[in-house]
Amino acid sequence: MNFFEDSFALDLISSDPGRTLKLSPMVQPQYITHLVTWQAAEPQLRAIRTEVFIREQHIPEALEWDGKDPQAIHALATEFTGKPIGTGRLLLNGELAHIGRMAVLPGWRGKGVGASLLLCLLNEARQRGAGEAFLNAQTAAVPFYERFDFVREGAEYFEEGIPHYRMTRTLV
């Protein structure tokens, strides 16, 4: 391995076990994705979700802050300067993993941040023994999740005026 692969391969783990994604040496990630607790990173996690869900999508604060964050595992993407740019959370119930609150700041969308967050959470769920994952995807994001082997389940439904689909995938 060269310096580039040593430095960045861990941040780019594929959803397929045993397969890592390789970046061209010409493209260096401009962010880091890591797992955090709510207690350690609450201000950063709140800042992203407030911007995306409350301000941009007009989700009521009472619905966004559901009280489940202290028990959740959170993925946080930050610029190398430490500025938060994206987040997602993982709730575990036995072998079932619930991924949610996926949010990336507008200027960082389309740059792999969401993929990095999702892969980080899927990997953690797998390591903790989950055999299946589900999420409630906004309809516009369904193609994104399908790239990671999530499948729509049931009919489209609305949450706060935003269309969603429940999506599932196996982790084993």
Q: Is the pLDDT of residue 12 over 60?
A: no
Q: How confident is the model at residue 54 (pLDDT cuts 50, 70, 90)?
A: very high
Q: What is the mean pLDDT of the chain?
A: 87
Alpha helix positions (H), 26-68: 38-49, 61-64
pLDDT at 160: 86
For the chain, percent of residues with pLDDT exceeding 70: 83
pLDDT at res. 25: 52
* Secondary structure (3-state) at 58: coil
Q: Strand 132-138 vs strand 96-104: parallel, antiparallel, or unpaired?
A: parallel
Closest CA to 44 of 14, 89, 3, 9: 89
How much is the pLDDT for 2? Answer: 32
Q: How many residues does the chain have?
A: 172
Per-residue model confidence as pLDDT tens digits over 56-102: 999 999 999 999 999 999 999 999 999 999 999 999 999 999 999 99
Least Cα distance to 75 among 47, 101, 95, 56 occurs for 101
Residue-range domain boundaries for the chain: 3-170
Pick the CATH number of 3-170 from 3.30.230.10, 3.20.20.70, 3.40.630.30, 3.10.129.10: 3.40.630.30
